[in-house]
Amino acid sequence: MTLDPLAFLAELERATTRLLSTAEHLDGHPSAPSLLPGWTRGHVLTHVARNADSMVNLLTWARTGVVTPQYPSREKRNADIEAGADRTWEVLIADVRDSAARFATAADALDADTWAGHLDLPNGPTPVALLSWRRLREVEVHHVDLGAAYTPAEWPESFAHRLLHDVAGGLDDISLTLRPDALGHPVSVGDGGPPDVHGPAYALAAWLAGRSPGTGLKVVPEGPLPAVPEWI
């Protein structure tokens, strides 16, 4: 994946605007179920906001050199989501908007040399430039998780292609070949197929990411869709 943080940041601004627009036009019940098992829409919006603040921690680490973990602990992350899920709809929307602004301010403070650096994260050295992609991924995927009118079919094509490659490259213990319509090249998962799975890039990405049962995808040789491991 080409890492252009400024391009990702421009896409992120548009994606955040779409998410906020969806939230503002929903019925405003934080306890309404989302598409994520055990999570309400209030959980989803709170997670999106706290993720933005956690990314600010990493951007601050990159800028200052002072080690600032994304979250103090997994337990604290989960507790903060639970604590915020039952707030009023207006407060939830404001939290998403305000935390997105904090992320944008922190990103604007990075110069080119800092964006070109790496952070020593628990899962290994990570390009700072990748953080803007990870934030974009959170906003777009969790927008779908709200269970409103925004579905994977609404993902911008460039995002769907990047997400497809991203998810495919991170899955273990499975081998198959994805053949996205109009992409022009196959995408291997593990050691590659067979089977081959054909369909639009957004539909393949949503299926691999656990956001779709894969309805409409075509398997060659003919048969059921293979089971895929749980994605993050």
Residue 122 burial by CB count (10 A; 0-12/13-18/19+): exposed, middle or buried? exposed
Q: Which residues of the chain have pLDDT under 50?
A: none
Query: Strand 187-189 to strand 196-199: parallel, antiparallel, or no bridges (unpaired)?
Result: unpaired
pLDDT (0 to 100) of residue 191: 87
Domain identity same for 182 and 88: no
Amino acid in the structure at residue 41: R
pLDDT (0 to 100) of residue 42: 98
Domain identity same for 144 and 196: no
Domain C-terminal end among 103, 118, 150: 150
| Residue 225 maps to a domain | no
Give the CA count within 13 Å in the CB-facing half-sphere of 53.
15
Domain identity same for 185 and 127: no
> What element of type H or E holds 199?
strand 196-199
Q: What is the pLDDT of residues 128-174, one digit of tens each?
A: 999 999 999 999 999 999 999 999 999 999 999 999 999 998 888 88
pLDDT (0 to 100) of residue 80: 97
Domain identity same for 86 and 165: no
| Residue 140 maps to a domain | yes
Domain C-terminal end among 119, 150, 181: 150
Domain identity same for 117 and 198: no
**How far is the C-alpha of 130 from the C-alpha of 224, rounded, in Å?**
35
DSSP 3-state assignment of 132?
helix
Q: What is the pLDDT of residues 204-220, one digit of tens each?
A: 999 999 999 999 999 99
Q: Give the domain extent around 197.
A: 159-220
Q: Partners of 198 in the beta sheet?
A: 179, 218
For residues 177 and 183, is the Cβ–Cβ distance under 8 A? no
Domain identity same for 137 and 164: no
Query: Strand 176-180 to strand 196-199: parallel, antiparallel, or no bridges (unpaired)?
Result: parallel
**How far is the C-alpha of 139 from the C-alpha of 13, rounded, in Å?**
10
| Residue 228 maps to a domain | no
The structure tokens listed for 165 are: 């490659």
Domain identity same for 102 and 42: yes
Domain identity same for 107 and 189: no
> What element of type H or E holds 187?
strand 187-189
